[in-house]
Amino acid sequence: MSGWITVAGLGPGDDALITPQVQAALERATDIVGYFPYVARIPPRDGLILHGSDNRAELDRAAHALRMAAGGRRVVIVSSGDPGVFAMASALFEAVENGPPAWLDLDIRVLPGITAMLAAAARLGAPLGHDFCAINLSDNLKPWSVIEHRLRMAARGDFAMAFYNPRSRSRPQQFGQALDILRAECGGARLIAFARDVCKPDERLLTTTLAEATAEMADMRTVVIVGNAQTRRLGRFIYTPRSA
Amino acid sequence: MSGWITVAGLGPGDDALITPQVQAALERATDIVGYFPYVARIPPRDGLILHGSDNRAELDRAAHALRMAAGGRRVVIVSSGDPGVFAMASALFEAVENGPPAWLDLDIRVLPGITAMLAAAARLGAPLGHDFCAINLSDNLKPWSVIEHRLRMAARGDFAMAFYNPRSRSRPQQFGQALDILRAECGGARLIAFARDVCKPDERLLTTTLAEATAEMADMRTVVIVGNAQTRRLGRFIYTPRSA
């Protein structure tokens, strides 16, 4: 038995952002586990089994991967972006905590990747160049009131902010409420940027102000970045000075 | 004239974390600019000029790179980690803003890298698996009172936190003050992790509680991660659940 399990970040979409470390793990794997569109990014080869699964099946997927590793398979769970940022690494450890004690003795590794907010920031300039927060705006796993509180604390600390999962069809109103909170806390002149499908062929970047921003500018494929009080436009870029 | 300027992230130290996108830029460059130890990571080759410079010379370094790009050179400014996170991207845009207007017309790109906090998080488990903040604890470019305020807001929002530049010889007291604030806000049982020289041969990882943490556990080569109220140990790992 020499099974292992690795959670690997594929970055936001461009294969040129996949680290050699992740590439090497993919090449040694017997099994790839993950959400369908991420598994679809892995080229098939002899001896490699691809296990695509649905979104929101994170715990089942992690347990399946752990059972295979315990049985001697070499398993890579693929994640978009960085697996440690609103992705599969925490789900894997939740599954380990809830599973048989022997799972803790498995060879478990997390391999970082380029997370969407940092890819978006690079494409926009340097909006996260000073102190910042990352907030998941989905209330699937936490109450919306916690999200509202975190938005207020982040605004009062004058952090730049990056939002993951800003808006979905099942909760179209909440992102508008988040914008209302931010306008009240930060004022209408504060810069906000929407990066959709970042580093993919259909990438779309939009920078505007909180006063002009509307909820429809975001969907689940968008990362949203809000500047701090010093964040400014500079030609086609936005950036936050280091002294902010 | 076909000069360009790219700010590229080399990741935290292991070359297996350098993206193919950054590698390609390095191979096309005529000039590499950066802090000495980062430039030392680039293998010399015919036709490539290496320009190492001192720490804290960020604006001079950026202006030098911009002048070379304006003169037709293909310049890569190398940064540790991700250039957009407490690194050279913001310094470059500050230099552009303070320089001749023609610099804004240059071909300027930022290429993301694996930033230290996400490399450290991956080595530790998944401590940044839910909402988190990144804070630079250096007061070189901002008042210490701003840092204290941000620590309190981050704690009151129950964010996990990552600290860059936690402690230097020139300001040995401040990190102890930061720990005092965190103990007062979060309680002594809160988990804190110190990752020194992450992904380098001398890597050292230490997880403890705020009650047991001392200022001497950190230096400038350490990234510090503080959990949120839900962050827990699990065998040799620490992680933050997705519902936190």
What are the pLDDT digits (tens) for A115-131? Answer: 999 999 999 999 999 99
Q: Which residue of A has its CA nearest to B107?
A: A236
**CA–CA–CA angle B28, B33, B35 (5° rounding):** 140
What's the pLDDT at A1? Answer: 54
**Both tokens of residue B219?**
């230096």
**Both tokens of residue A201?**
């062929």
B20 pLDDT above the threshold of 80: yes
Spatial separation of the C-alpha atoms in residues B40 and B49, rounded to whole Å: 12
By Cβ distance, the residue of B134, B156, B235 closest to A131 is B134
Spatial separation of the C-alpha atoms in residues B85 and B90, rounded to whole Å: 9
Cβ(B207)–Cβ(B193) below 8 Å: yes
DSSP three-state, residue B98:
coil
At B57, is the pLDDT very low, low, confident or very high (cuts 50, 70, 90)?
Answer: confident
Quick count: other Cβ atoms within 10 Å of Cβ B70?
A: 18
- A4-53 pLDDT tens trace: 999 999 999 999 999 999 999 999 999 999 999 999 999 999 999 999 99
Burial A159-172 (b: 16+ CB within 10 A, else e): bbbbbbbbbbeeee
Mind listing the domains of chain A with CATH numbers? 4-114 (3.40.1010.10), 117-239 (3.30.950.10)
**Both tokens of residue B4?**
């360009």
What's the pLDDT at B168? Answer: 80
B175 pLDDT above the threshold of 90: yes
Distance to chain B for A203, nearest Cα, Å: 16
What's the pLDDT at B1? Answer: 54
| ipTM confidence | 0.97
Interface of B with A in 114-133 (CB under 8 A): 114-115, 118-119, 121-123, 125-133
Interface of A with B in 26-65 (CB under 8 A): 58
At B235, is the pLDDT very low, low, confident or very high (cuts 50, 70, 90)?
Answer: very high
By Cβ distance, the residue of A104, A133, A240 closest to B90 is A240
**A142 shares contact with chain B (CB less than 8 Å):** yes
What's the pLDDT at A181? Answer: 98
CB spacing of A235 vs B104 below 8 angstroms: yes
C-alpha of B124 from chain center: 17
